[in-house]
């Protein structure tokens, strides 16, 4: 059995940084993720007037319940969608003018539903170029709160941003949601808010958040379940065994369900209170699976799908088209480069069994493309990546850890 330590969750680290910044007192974050996205988040908080003390294992942050200390800031989000989507709301709780911009890749990703929701709350938000996209300027003067309607059909991060803002408003929030995707990420948000002392509830499509702020705490960050998917897939593909400690039955992250998908395809899966183990059996069955709620793992499944005995059809993943790249078409394009037969529709991809051949993978500056097709390479000589460094977004040490795994398994 091979045990692989997975770095901290990007999703949990970003939320914890927001919550710590907004909380009364000093929060200690245990084992947060040190990667490009989370560093961008911490630097943005610093520009807003918060101080994040980053150590090798723990980060400390003293919160400001009244909003940012700065009265103006120019924030560069890099490629970090959580920075661009979570922090305008935090900035709005202060007093001043705050500008947000990012890479060309992130400028292409939509912000419109979140912008409109903030405007419903009376926040002055101005897009400098294309409406609904970065760069944007927030003219902050506190947030009263109230009732709003939000279209969360493209990203659950819009709802998370508003939920996180809720306790910082004067009157609280009542959010009616349409078209919600990636529900487990919203459940993560609400669970973490409660850990920091907030009162948040859901009744069907209506989310209610009471005013009252947050309390500082000590918070341990789980290993990243999306990152773990590459190692679980590697075990299923090669007939080896992988254990990821720290991800067990009580894990917050819905992407752990990817292990269960592998179980449906023929792998053996054991989930305990403390860890998850996937063991390859030499069998991968075809499958039709709805991945709406675990769509970040869609590229992982697509990358091993050619080795299944029957077709693999992944459905209800339209929102993957507006991630770092159009992941649905990027996955299909790379599989075709490998000589695999693929069909796609608006929100689905179907991969036929085949014998992939070596080729260069187009990463599209997307960490998930690079890591997913590194798994394919375990059984396909000659695969290279056109941008291996893009993994720095969430797992800078990925290639080193994967090389060590290959050496241990002799594949």
Task: Indicate which residues carry an active-site annotation.
Answer: 296
**Separation between Cα atoms, residue 411 and residue 409, nearest integer Å:** 6
Structure tokens at 40: 């961008």
CA atoms within 13 A on the CB side of 53: 7
Closest among 148, 153, 165 to 206, alpha carbons compared:
148
Structure tokens at 203: 């009744």
CB 184 within 8 A of CB 191: no
Signed CA dihedral, 29, 98, 89, 365: sign only: negative
CB 277 within 8 A of CB 242: yes
Residues 6+ apart with CB under 8 A from 95: 67, 71, 140, 141, 142
Report the C-alpha dihedral over residues 162, 163, 167, 168, rounded to 10 degrees.
-20
DSSP of 122-133:
T-EEEESSSTTS
**Separation between Cα atoms, residue 324 and residue 321, nearest integer Å:** 8
Residues 6+ apart with CB under 8 A from 407: none
H or E stretch at 370: helix 367-376
Signed CA dihedral, 5, 7, 11, 16: sign only: positive
CB neighbours of residue 400 within 10 Å: 10
Structure tokens at 252: 């917050």
Per-residue CA distances from 343 to 125, 153, 232, 245, 269 (Å): 41, 24, 25, 36, 29
Per-residue CA distances from 175 to 85, 122, 141 (Å): 17, 15, 21
Q: CA gyration radius for the chain?
A: 21
CB neighbours of residue 18 within 10 Å: 29
């Amino acid at each position: 059995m091979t045990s692989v330590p997975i770095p901290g969750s990007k999703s949990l680290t970003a939320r914890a940084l927001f919550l710590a910044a907004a909380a009364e007192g000093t929060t200690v974050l245990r084992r947060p993720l040190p990667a490009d996205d989370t560093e961008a988040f911490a630097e943005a908080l610093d520009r807003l007037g918060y101080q994040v003390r980053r150590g090798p294992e723990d980060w400390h942050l003293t919160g400001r319940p009244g909003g940012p200390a700065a009265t103006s800031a120019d924030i560069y989000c890099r490629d970090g969608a959580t920075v661009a989507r979570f922090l305008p709301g935090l900035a709005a709780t202060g007093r001043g003018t705050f500008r947000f911009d990012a890479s060309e890749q992130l400028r292409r990703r939509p912000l419109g539903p979140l912008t409109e929701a903030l405007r419903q709350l009376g926040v002055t938000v101005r897009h400098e170029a294309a409406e609904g996209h970065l760069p944007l300027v927030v003219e902050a003067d506190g947030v009263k709160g109230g009732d709003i309607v939000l279209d969360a059909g493209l990203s659950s991060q819009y709802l998370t941003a508003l939920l996180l803002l809720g306790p910082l408003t004067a009157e609280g929030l009542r959010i009616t949601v349409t078209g919600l995707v990636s529900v487990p990420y919203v459940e993560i948000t609400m669970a973490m808010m409660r850990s920091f002392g907030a009162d948040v509830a859901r009744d069907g499509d209506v989310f209610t958040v009471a005013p009252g702020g947050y309390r500082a705490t000590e918070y341990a960050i789980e290993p990243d379940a999306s990152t773990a998917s590459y190692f679980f897939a590697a075990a299923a593909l090669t007939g080896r065994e992988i254990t990821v400690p720290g991800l067990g039955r009580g894990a917050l992250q819905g992407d752990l369900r990817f292990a269960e998908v592998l179980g449906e395809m023929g792998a053996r899966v054991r989930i305990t209170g403390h860890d998850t183990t996937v063991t390859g059996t030499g069998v991968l069955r075809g499958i039709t699976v709805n991945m709406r709620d675990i769509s970040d793992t869609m590229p992982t499944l697509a990358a091993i799908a050619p080795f299944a005995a029957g077709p693999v059809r992944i459905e209800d993943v339209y929102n993957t088209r507006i991630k770092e790249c159009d992941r649905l078409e990027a996955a299909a394009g790379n599989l075709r480069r490998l000589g695999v037969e693929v069909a796609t529709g608006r929100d689905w991809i179907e991969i036929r069994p085949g014998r992939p051949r070596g080729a260069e993978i187009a990463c599209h500056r997307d960490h998930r493309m690079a890591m997913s097709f590194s798994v394919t390479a375990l059984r396909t000589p000659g695969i290279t990546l056109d941008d291996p460094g893009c993994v720095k977004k969430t797992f800078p040490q990925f290639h080193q850890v994967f090389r060590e795994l290959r050496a241990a398994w002799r594949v």
